[in-house]
Structure 1
Amino acid sequence: MARPGLVIFDCDGVLVDSEPISLRLLLATLASAGLVLSPDEADEFFLGRSLATTREILARDHGLSVSDAALDDMRRDLYAAFRAELQPIPGIAATLDALAAPYCVASSSQPERIELSLRITGLWSRFEGRVFSSTMVKHGKPAPDLFLFAAERLGHEPADCLVVEDSPAGIMAAQAAGMRVVAFTGGSHAASDRHRADVARLRPDVIIDRMPALLDVLAG
């Protein structure tokens, strides 16, 4: 694979191993609101999508309106859990430090959550000033808007960018943006056969399950 001009990382499940924590808190919030979903169902419906998109899906497909107060409570509990439990993806710091190309983060999460996640895991200094959130664009993943916005802001053409993503929604967004995409299946949420089959079905350019393998991919 030719070396990209810009590497765009998703955050949750790619830089930080946050998805199991997020899923646990989301399922508890939905159960309190009267909607009981299995972890697999929640993963399928919501993984990689913004909070705004999640609310739209809940209203459209499940007839559930989650109040702002309930979301505020979930966010408070989530941030407390992050402070107690959140870990970086193994090998991510060394991989970032060895990258020859510039990089940034483009995540469906809100800016304050991205910053908190990266500060807790010691990664913030590597991304400060190059953080892009779905709150900055009209349409979140699987639309290409966020990746195109990040590339434009940093002065790169889409074809010159490589995206590292863990979710089907993120992979589809990268492909729709005309960018190459490495699917990462090394997060603790991504071990199931169903998840890996969903990722493989989208035919990303490469699939890796260890973050240092990204360096091997870029080395050709």
Structure 2
Amino acid sequence: MMTRQSITHLVCDCDGVLLDSESIALRVLHRELLPLLPALAAGDVAYSDEESRSAALHAAIANRLGMYTDLLLDEVDAEFELGLSAQQVEHLHESVGRACGEEAQPVPGIAEALQAIRLPRAVASNSDAPRIESGLRRCGLYAQFEGRIYSAHDVGKPKPAPDVYLAAAAGFGIDPARCVAVDDSVTGVRAAAAAGMHVLGFTGVAHDRKAMARQLLAAGASKVFDDMKQFPQLICELVWLR
């Protein structure tokens, strides 16, 4: 007879799970990158007007949210031939970081959900540590994660590599298989799955929840949910999964 093994620790992504900040990053990046789109050549029918070009840029950024910002900018730069300089990239980092620090709000229901979940918890994010800490402080969540904040900037390769999730498990001194990770991006779900954690996908702040749910399941999430009221029950079910 198989014995039950409890999930003992919780590891949360930051942007899009704890903080509703990805919409802010999307807005800032779109606003800053749109004027850099190269002028259409005569007869270019790829994007017939400014509105469609703007929509294409918006979608390209939205589909990459959760990536390390440098990689996101590299891919968007290549796709749209923006020709970003190092100075422009630094400016974009500063603009996004400042806006998220000043405007980020907690994901609706996250404070209540965390209060109901008794597992020790950590943050594992592709954002840099100062931005994570600033956002958590602003939203009143810092005390719950103090001393357990892991940034891909500090531990090695960014998501979708598993490094930052592995660092969180190592910080607890436990096997990653005893952790449940919660992430809202394909990049993050792949990282947590590669680390060997149980993975829940959150779609509550996604632009297209149904499409994102399909993508997160395909990336390795065992279940997806779109309302933090569901979060404690999902954790309870996982505690007795084995």
**TM-score greater than 0.5 by the shorter chain:** yes
Distance 1:80 1:142 in 2: 25
- Greater shift, 92-101 or 70-79, is seen at 70-79
The residue aligned with 2:240 is: none
The residue aligned with 1:20 is: 23
Structure 2: give runs of 5+ residues left out of the alignment.
Answer: 39-53, 238-242
Which of 103, 108, 121 aligns to 1:103? It is 121
1:71 maps to 2:89: yes
Q: Percent identity?
A: 34
Distance 1:82 1:214 in 2: 24
1:9 maps to 2:27: no
Classify the secondary structure of the residue corresponding to 2:228.
coil
Contact 2:193 2:220 in 1 (8 A): no
Cα deviation for residue 79 of structure 1 reads 4.3
C-alpha distance 193-26 of structure 1, shift in aligned 2 (>3 A)? same
One-letter amino acid matched to 1:40:
A
1:213 maps to 2:237: no
Cα deviation for residue 59 of structure 1 reads 5.4
C-alpha distance 83-179 of structure 1, shift in aligned 2 (>3 A)? closer
The residue aligned with 2:50 is: none
Cα deviation for residue 171 of structure 1 reads 0.6
Give structure 1 regions of 4+ aligned residues with deviation exceeding 6 angstroms. none
C-alpha distance 54-79 of structure 1, shift in aligned 2 (>3 A)? closer
Cα deviation for residue 76 of structure 1 reads 3.9
Structure 1: give runs of 5+ residues left out of the alignment.
Answer: none
**Per-residue CA shift, 1:153-190, capped at 9, x if unaligned?**
22111111110000011111111111100101111x34
Which of 132, 151, 156 aligns to 2:174? It is 156
- Greater shift, 113-122 or 68-77, is seen at 68-77
1:12-161 → structure 2 map (5 Å cutoff): 12-34=15-37, 37-44=56-63, 46-58=64-76, 61-82=79-100, 85-161=103-179
Distance 2:217 2:6 in 1: 23
TM-score by length of 1: 0.88
Distance 1:207 1:2 in 2: 22
Classify the secondary structure of the residue corresponding to 1:142.
coil
Classify the secondary structure of the residue corresponding to 2:105.
coil
